[in-house]
Amino acid sequence: MAAPASTPASAPGVDEVTPHPTRSHEAGADEKKRENVTVETAPSIVYEAPARGGWLSKFQAGFRIGRASQASTPVYQPRPIPSESSTIGARLWKFVKFLGPGAVISVAYVDPDNYQTAISSGASFQYKLLFMVLVSNLIAIYIQSLCIKLGTVTGLDLAQMNHKSLPRWLELILYVIAEASIIATDLGQVIGTAIALNILIPKLPLPAACVLSVFETLLILLFYTHTGEMRRIRMFEIFVSLLVIVVFVTICVALSMVTGSARDVFRGFVPSREIFVDTGLYASCAILGGTLMPHALYVGTALSRARLQEYDVKHNLIPEEDPSASTDTLKYRPSLRAIKSCMGYSIAELSFTLFTVAIFVNSALVIISGSAFYDPDSDDQVSDDLYDLYNLFSDTIAPAAGVMFALSLLFSGISAGIVSTMAGQIVMEGALNIRLSPFLRRLLTRCVAIIPALIIAVSVGQDGLSKAMVACNYLLAIALIPITFPIIYYTGLSKYMSVPADDGIGTVSLKNNIPTATVAWILWALVVVMDVATVVLVGLGITKDDG
């Protein structure tokens, strides 16, 4: 990719980028001579035109003779970049501009699968599992931050990194695992949305609700493309954020309908013995496995690209008119300036959104369930069937609480279906490099999920759909192990995390430092242990139903 016609000077706290010669200079690169101009303040580099050939030109170039005759030759002169203000107000405004991707990612942590797990956990252990909700979401924030770092530094999403860096056989294995996990996730979103529609509109048959859940997602995604205009991308992010806000508000309304001890609630965020033994261990594993969603990792590595490209184009670090720079993501590599300017804000925005949305919603579901449904004197367990949960909300709290539950389930299913379909498109494009229109790719992804949902809805009905969602959670728990490994592996090696230095000489390594890498591998090991424990406990029959 050719360098731009002008490169900005360095901003405060950011290294200077040395531009490369223009394409007209590349033809005579072997004869080009660079002249250093020493300036006391704000040094810049001036590139002269290549010598025209012949011994006289070489002699003049070697002794720097004849500069006046070259005065009319086009010269590459960097254009200074306005320095970014370091005031608190300016930083807050810049942070606001980065809001959006975190809301899209947070959708994966408030999907219908989490509803089942959180409500049944609260009904069985009251507030004791709030600690695991907090820990699971903090782990998710840490790993998603590594996803942002990977996508920001390399300019590639996880599927593209696997395609570029791994042997083909290993890449295909990871592709199959990723596709299976996305299909399982998408199946859960289709089922959750269909059940919510059937609850709110009883006359709507379940098969029709499944079909409707597919078309509304495709209609929304018809207006989104990750390589489109920044304004269009922000409009999509705002729309998804509105869906998340609706889920947030409906959960708040339901939470206001129950009463509980604030002291007991806060005590639930402290670890207790019950969550590490017997059925408590199973419930803890289920919360961790249901919180960390494999498809969210793929989406997390892709969402930062648009703002990086916007920065590079705006500051002439890549030419806006170059089609390969703006359309072919495999040829685009973010500049060091863009990485330094964007990565910190992207991680801060993600952490803020996940902490306020994902942790609050999942904790609120546990608190609602623990306040309204927990009975220490009863041996009966609360069903994780979504229809039973709706009836429980309506009968135990109030009919309005049941409606709020169904509405939040509907909007969480819609928004989660959007993100799941986006993940399917990212995985398919990166691994198979299929040249189809985005709409056809999304249609293919959704149809793969709707076929089993329709079969279950027609043949088994309500009970089959709920059991299918539970089975999907087990598959996702196992798929998370191999999908998370490459993220920690890539971000820990200079081979993948090095970018050209600002002065154009050498590279700068942005790999994980030792503490970051150590924590990442410890968390990965914890995920492996907890996810494997979930499957083992199910195999041993130690579950919340018959433990």
* The pLDDT value given to residue 79: 45
Q: What percent of the chain has pLDDT over 70?
A: 69
**CA distances in angstroms from 479 to 12, 181, 182, 348, listed in the order given:** 44, 6, 10, 27
For 324-382, what is each residue's pLDDT tens digit?
444 444 567 888 888 998 999 999 999 999 888 888 988 998 998 888 888 776 666 66
* The pLDDT value given to residue 60: 44
Task: Give the ranges where 46-129 is alpha helix by DSSP (H).
Answer: 55-63, 88-97, 101-106, 112-125
Q: Measure the CA angle with vertex 193, ends 539 and 481; round to 5°.
A: 40
* The pLDDT value given to residue 93: 86
Domain boundaries, the chain: 23-70, 94-485+519-540
Among left, alpha and beta (phi > 0; psi -120 to 50; other), residue 64 is: left
Tokens of 511: 């790999």
List the one residue out of 522, 74, 60, 129 whose CA is nearest residue 290. 129
Residue 463, C-beta contacts closer than 8 angstroms, at least 6 positions apart: 385
CA 357, CA 103: separation in Å to the nearest integer?
Answer: 8
List the one residue out of 56, 36, 54 whose CA is nearest residue 45. 36
Q: Measure the CA angle with vertex 60, ends 55 and 65; round to 5°.
A: 165
Looking at domain 94-485+519-540, its CATH superfamily turns out to be: Hydantoin permease (1.10.4160.10)
What burial class does residue 365 get, using C-beta atoms within 10 Å of its C-beta: 0-12 exposed, 13-18 middle, 19+ buried? buried
List the one residue out of 211, 235, 241 whose CA is nearest residue 222. 235
Model's pTM, two decimal places?
0.77
CA 35, CA 48: separation in Å to the nearest integer?
Answer: 7
pLDDT beyond 80 at 68? no
* The pLDDT value given to residue 40: 38
Tokens of 307: 């703002």
| Count of CB atoms situated within 10 Å of the CB of 401 | 24
Residue 507 forms beta bridges with which residues? 500
Least confident among 220-229, 274-283, 284-293: 220-229
Q: Measure the CA angle with vertex 350, ends 349 and 352; round to 5°.
A: 65
List the one residue out of 546, 545, 531 whose CA is nearest residue 287. 531
Tokens of 118: 């959180």
CA 339, CA 316: separation in Å to the nearest integer?
Answer: 15
**CA distances in angstroms from 511 to 154, 468, 488, 491, 516, listed in the order given:** 11, 40, 10, 5, 9
CA 204, CA 434: separation in Å to the nearest integer?
Answer: 37
List the one residue out of 405, 377, 375, 376 whose CA is nearest residue 389. 405
**Three-class DSSP category at 266:** helix
For 399-437, what is each residue's pLDDT tens digit?
888 888 888 888 888 888 778 878 888 888 888 776 666
Least confident among 94-98, 354-358, 502-506: 502-506
Least confident among 72-81, 310-319, 429-438: 72-81
458/390: higher pLDDT? 390
What burial class does residue 118 get, using C-beta atoms within 10 Å of its C-beta: 0-12 exposed, 13-18 middle, 19+ buried? buried
228/2: higher pLDDT? 228
**CA distances in angstroms from 360 to 48, 118, 372, listed in the order given:** 60, 12, 18
List the one residue out of 152, 186, 160 whose CA is nearest residue 428. 160
pLDDT beyond 60 at 297? yes
For CA atoms 443, 446, 449, 455, the dihedral sign is negative
Mean pLDDT along residues 165-182? 90
* The pLDDT value given to residue 32: 42
Q: How far is CA 258 from the centre of its chain?
A: 33
Q: Please name the helix (run of DSSP H) or strand (run of DSSP E) that holds residue 168, with its range, or none.
A: helix 168-200
Residues 372, 396: contact at Cβ < 8 Å?
Answer: yes
Residue 292 forms beta bridges with which residues? none
Please give, one letter per residue, the 3-state secondary structure of 377-443.
CCCCCCCCCHHHHHHHHHHHHCHHHHHHHHHHHHHHHHHHHHHHHHHHHHHHHHHHCCCCCHHHHHH
pLDDT beyond 60 at 104? yes
CA 135, CA 141: separation in Å to the nearest integer?
Answer: 10
